[in-house]
Each structure stands twice: as C-alpha cells, then as structure tokens.
C-alpha cells in the first residue's frame, strides 16, 4: 500500500510517475425543464423536448470517483491536453492508483518538420522517440488501461519538410499521416491486455471537427483490438457550443487547457469510464 505521494517529472516522453495524492500538469494555440405527465395533460410536443435537450449544458465530467477505482495503473500518452488530464487523474484517484504520463511535449503523433513556424528538428528530437519509448513503457509498467490523445495538437497546421508550407488536418495528406502514425502507436499500445482509450477534441472549429471524425474512424478500425473512444467533445460541448464558464467555474485556464475544476471532473469521468461498472459518460 502506498503511504505517501510521489511525483517525478522527467524530460519529454520520459514518464511522469504520479502517485495519486499529489496534484498538478502546452497546448496548441487556439436550463433544463422537467415535464411531468398527468392523465389530463397532453404529452409535450417532440419539438419542445428537442429544445429542452439542446439547451442543456455539457456535463463536463463527473462529480465523484467510483470507490471501485482502486489499485489501478494508467499510462497516459499524448499532447499537453492528455498530460493535463493525467495530472487530474493522479490528483483525484485513490492513493493506491498510479498514473504514468508519457507526454509528447510540444508535438503530437504525426512527427512534423515544423509547427506554427517552429522547426522540430526531425532528427534527434523527443517528438520521434515514442516509437522506441512506448514499447518500453508498456513492458515496464504493465498498465491496466491506456489513455491516448493528440487530437488537440495534431489539429493545428504543421509542415513535413523544409518548404515551410504548413497544412492542417483538413488536408488529405495530413489526415493520412495522422491515421498512419496513430495506427502505429495503437499497434504498440494495444499489444498487451490493457484496453486503450482515445480522446477527441472540442467541437469548436472546422479543424477540430475533421480531427474528431478521424479519431472516430481510427477507434472503429481498432475496436477489435480493445480500442475505445472516450467522447471528450460531448463532455465539453453541445451543438458546437463549448462554454468557457459553467456553474460559475472556469472550464479552461489561461493556456486553454482544462482549468482545475473541469480537469478534475473530467479525470473522474475518465477513470470511471475505464474501471467502474457504470458511468454517465460517453463511451463509443
């Protein structure tokens, strides 16, 4: 049994071992009515029901962590959004849960030459090391579940040669590259018996919507290998509207990652979706 919290943050794609009592975690630039039926009252019209559903705000995770989520090890792989959620998971989980965060610091999975004009130095960069590091992490930590997400970062324009021409996920070439490299990562992460959970992006821009279609496609392709999609956009957005303040709480911080309130609620939703018998979240 773990008796104290331990947190170690190492270099890019070096795992951050987060024992679940301590908390902490860059991202890319970027009223419900209740109707009661009565014998004398007619049923509400379908249009009214639809308007009620549309007006309901997103749930932004869950309020409580299931007590059944204990003794688990989770490997988190991805961009800074995934890293932020990993930090939230470590903070709210029971003391004997362990979260290992393998951040792809400053890049996603598609290994670009440059992002937003910043050259990533295609050779000898941590952005490329996931191909050798991920198998080591799977063997070393033997996680009970894996969270994988680069949808936020890989939706922004990137270049793949020295021309400097940056293309977004809306370009067919980028979509093909994302599918190829995400597939290679999933081939590694899905080798063991641990289920792999993908997360998508907010539903707040055309690029994110294209990215979310790609993540859904990949999830469907690898479903037989234990890959599932955790629908993050449904937790943050309704009808392409993603509120920045809910219930008097900030949903995002100054860096546009989840603020502490939303991060911790999303972390509970993720862990419950992975390990609890029942959850109110969206698992596709």
pLDDT of residue 169: 95
Q: Judge residue 224's burial from the number of C-beta atoms within 10 Å of its C-beta, 0-12 exposed, 13-18 middle, 19 or more buried.
A: exposed
pLDDT of residue 261: 97
For 249-256, what is the mean pLDDT?
Answer: 94
As a whole number, the mean pLDDT across the chain is: 79
Query: Which distant-in-sequence residues (6+ apart) come within 8 Å of 147 by Cβ?
Result: 74, 75, 76, 77, 78, 82, 85, 86, 89, 197, 199, 230, 270, 274
pLDDT grade, residue 106 (50/70/90)? low
pLDDT tens sequence across 143-163:
999 999 999 999 989 888 888
pLDDT tens sequence across 168-224:
999 999 999 999 999 999 999 998 889 999 999 999 899 999 999 999 999 999 999
Question: CATH code for 7-26+64-275?
Answer: 3.40.50.1110
How far apart, in whole angstroms, are the C-alpha atoms of residue 161 and residue 205? 26
Q: 65 and 94 in contact (C-beta within 8 Å)?
A: yes
pLDDT tens sequence across 257-266:
999 999 999 9
pLDDT of residue 122: 54
Q: Would you give the DSSP letter of residue 219?
A: H
Q: Judge residue 172's burial from the number of C-beta atoms within 10 Å of its C-beta, 0-12 exposed, 13-18 middle, 19 or more buried.
A: exposed
**pLDDT of 31 above 80:** no
Q: 131 and 96 in contact (C-beta within 8 Å)?
A: no
**3-state secondary structure at position 149:** strand
Range scoring the smallest mean pLDDT among 21-25, 140-144, 216-220:
21-25
Q: What percentage of the chain has pLDDT greater than the value 70?
A: 72
How far apart, in whole angstroms, are the C-alpha atoms of residue 172 and residue 247? 40
HSE, CB side, 13 Å, CA atoms: give it for residue 253. 16
pLDDT of residue 4: 33
Per domain, the residue ranges of the chain are: 7-26+64-275
For 215-234, what is the mean pLDDT?
Answer: 96
Considering the entire predicted model, what is its pTM? 0.78
């Amino acid at each position: 049994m773990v008796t104290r919290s331990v947190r170690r943050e190492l270099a890019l794609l070096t795992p951050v071992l987060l024992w679940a009592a301590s908390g902490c975690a860059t991202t890319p630039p970027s009223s419900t009515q209740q109707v009661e039926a009565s014998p004398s009252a007619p049923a509400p019209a379908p249009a009214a029901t639809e308007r009620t559903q549309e007006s309901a705000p997103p749930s932004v995770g869950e309020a409580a962590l299931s007590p059944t989520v204990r003794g688990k090890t989770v490997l988190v792989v991805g961009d800074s959004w995934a890293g932020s959620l990993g930090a939230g998971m470590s903070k709210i989980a029971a003391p004997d849960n362990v979260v290992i965060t393998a951040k792809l610091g400053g890049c996603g999975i598609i290994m670009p030459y440059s992002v937003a004009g910043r050259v990533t130095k295609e050779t000898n960069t941590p952005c490329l090391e996931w191909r050798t590091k991920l198998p080591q992490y799977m063997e070393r930590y033997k996680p009970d579940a894996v969270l994988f997400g680069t949808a936020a970062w890989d939706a922004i324009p990137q270049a793949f040669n020295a021309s400097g021409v940056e293309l977004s996920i809306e370009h067919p070439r980028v979509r093909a590259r994302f599918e190829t490299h995400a597939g290679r990562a999933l081939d590694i992460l899905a080798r063991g018996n641990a289920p792999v959970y993908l997360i998508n992006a907010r539903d707040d821009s055309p690029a994110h919507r294209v990215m979310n279609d790609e993540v859904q496609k990949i999830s469907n392709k690898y479903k037989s290998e234990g890959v599932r999609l955790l629908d993050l956009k449904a937790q943050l957005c309704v009808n392409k509207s993603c509120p920045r303040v809910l219930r008097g709480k900030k949903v995002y911080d100054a860096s546009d990652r989840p603020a502490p309130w939303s991060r911790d609620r999303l972390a509970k939703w993720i862990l419950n979706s992975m390990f609890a018998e029942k959850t109110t979240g969206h698992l596709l």
